[in-house]
Amino acid sequence: MEGLYNIKCTVSYDGGNYGGYQLQDNAETIQQRLENALEKIVKKHTRTYASGRTDAGVHARGQVFHFLTETPIPEDKWAFAFNALLPDDIVVLTAQYVPHSFHSRFSAVEKVYRYCLWNRRVDDVFSRHYSWHIPYALDLDAMREAASYLIGEHDFTSFCSIRSAAGSKIRNIYEITIDEEEPGKIWLTFRGNGFLYNMVRIIVGTLVNVGAKKRIPRSIRDILAEKNRDLAGKTAPAKGLFLWEVKY
Amino acid sequence: MEGLYNIKCTVSYDGGNYGGYQLQDNAETIQQRLENALEKIVKKHTRTYASGRTDAGVHARGQVFHFLTETPIPEDKWAFAFNALLPDDIVVLTAQYVPHSFHSRFSAVEKVYRYCLWNRRVDDVFSRHYSWHIPYALDLDAMREAASYLIGEHDFTSFCSIRSAAGSKIRNIYEITIDEEEPGKIWLTFRGNGFLYNMVRIIVGTLVNVGAKKRIPRSIRDILAEKNRDLAGKTAPAKGLFLWEVKY
């Protein structure tokens, strides 16, 4: 693989105008925009590989992708080259040369997702594309107790879209924190070794039920044990979710 | 004026899709949207009066307007009534019955504007509609010194659009603070008894010149003294500016 370089990039995007990260025939996607830009830079169609897909409407602060190329642009110029060709809702933040053993998806050891709730009677015009508006009171301590039952290695079938094609539904959640950044602006932060299709959004939908006293915190244990998606809450809206960081 | 109520409202808006606050023939405006909603609520065209106009693209966290009406809706229902009829980029936050002596513009004793700079090499996708991206280094201490020369009562002709129709150009700035909320996210906060047309944006454009070492801080004194708009910096983009609060 002499003369072939492996480039790792972090990219931030506002998912609001896209049909998700991954290439598809009938919608604009982040990957398509990245590969269009890359083709112009290296004068050759080049496949990119991300840490994982994000759904339609989901945002990223630190998605990671990599690609192999023969074009040796100076490391600090890659981001400029991409950003000059990308729309303003996709921004490449960093780029670096990495060993060929690095793979955005298979080398990842931890992912961090964050979900934002706007919990006041009226919605906030400046957060409306980046949070889920919950106009009723939430008991954050009840939500924290409920979240505690999800920590550790579990079969998350109950918190996974039935459309998931994943083989094993076992994942390990290291930590869930729930913090009020300013009055009414609540961040749920999830750290784990990986997350299934819609898993964070279904967990958020269920925790919000707990916060609203429609479920008791302990019910989360039973939902997990039953391995039945129908028992969990509804999938929270995509617009409040951010792929925050991928760790290697 | 028996049976005629004076209602004071605070309203937040994302100015990005509007030709400014004030009614005009050839653009969508905030006032038009508010009066359209109000007409549906009270079944009668009713004029509203704001604390002042904001330019095309400028945002508000706490603009204030008032109107007189014969329709006695309960105080806590006004905001809901408005919000049910407003687009999602305009939100009425509060409403209250006030004495007839209250006037949004003439009763105001202080206005607070805030301007947001995004000072990193690459722009932030989530702040891009709400800040001005400055990719080069800024000396915040030099900007603070420059700002200090603007405090107090001055003739601000040099920092006012030549299209201004204001009689007196004398205004009193009580305070200007410059704070880094997180690395690269810089807020300039202006408190004063009133601000002329484009005044905050021209001051910001000039302070950014100082931060970039294109002007020395003391030059602000000379610019003020000359009463000549051409000597100040360019008008900073509207999208970074927020009418934050109006005090009575």
Helices (H), B15-57: 30-42
* Pairwise CB contact (< 8 Å): B88 & A123: yes
User: Cα separation of B113 and B155, whole Å?
Assistant: 19
Residue of B nearest to A127 (CA): B126
Asked if B85 reaches chain A (Cβ–Cβ under 8 Å), the answer is no
| Contact status, residue A247 vs residue A111, Cβ threshold 8 Å | yes
What does DSSP say about strands A5-13 and A90-98: parallel, antiparallel, or unpaired?
A: antiparallel
DSSP 8-state symbol, A196: -
Whole-number pLDDT of residue B94: 95
Banded model confidence at residue B106, pLDDT cuts 50, 70, 90: very high
User: Cα separation of B175 and B181, whole Å?
Assistant: 18
**Among B90, B92, B123, beta carbon nearest to A91:** B123
In chain A, which residues have their Cβ closer than 8 Å to the Cβ of B91? Answer: 122-125
Nearest CA distance, B214 vs chain A (angstrom)? 25
What average pLDDT does range B159-183 have in this prediction? 92
**Among A79, A89, A124, beta carbon nearest to B125:** A89
- Provide the chain A residues 123-162 that lie in CB contact (below 8 A) with chain B: 123-126, 128, 130
Q: Could you tell me the CA-to-CA distances from B5 to A247, B10, B95 in Å, in that order?
A: 59, 17, 12
What average pLDDT does range B42-55 have in this prediction? 95
Whole-number pLDDT of residue B48: 97
Tokens of A106: 């298979």
* Pairwise CB contact (< 8 Å): B88 & A128: yes
What average pLDDT does range B127-142 have in this prediction? 96
User: Cα separation of A6 and A102, whole Å?
Assistant: 8
Whole-number pLDDT of residue A42: 95
Interface test with A, best of B61, B78, B118, B122 (most A CBs within 10 A): B122
Percent above pLDDT 70 for chain B: 99
- Looking at the predicted complex, does its ipTM rise above 0.95? no
**Among B13, B122, B126, beta carbon nearest to A125:** B13
Instruction: For CA atoms A33, A39, A45, A50, give the dihedral sign.
Output: negative
Is residue B55 part of the annotated active site? The answer reads: yes
Q: Give the DSSP per-residue string, A46-87.
A: ---EESS---TT-EEEEEEEEEEES----GGGHHHHHHHHS-
What average pLDDT does range B49-65 have in this prediction? 96
Helix (H) or strand (E) run with residue A244 in it = strand A241-247
Q: Is the pLDDT of residue B137 over 80?
A: yes
Q: Enumerate helices (H) and strands (E) in chain B, giving the number of each.
A: 5, 10
Q: For chain A, which residues score pLDDT lower than 50?
A: none
What average pLDDT does range B68-95 have in this prediction? 95
For chain A, report the end-to-end CA distance as a whole number of angstroms. 23
- Digit-coded pLDDT (tens) for B183-221: 999 999 999 999 999 999 999 999 999 999 999 999 999
Banded model confidence at residue B166, pLDDT cuts 50, 70, 90: confident
- Digit-coded pLDDT (tens) for A76-126: 899 999 999 999 999 999 999 999 999 999 999 999 999 999 999 999 999
Q: Is the pLDDT of residue B2 over 70?
A: no
Whole-number pLDDT of residue A2: 63
Banded model confidence at residue B1, pLDDT cuts 50, 70, 90: low
User: Residue A22's CB: how many other CB atoms inside 10 A?
Assistant: 15
Interface test with B, best of A17, A90, A126 (most B CBs within 10 A): A126
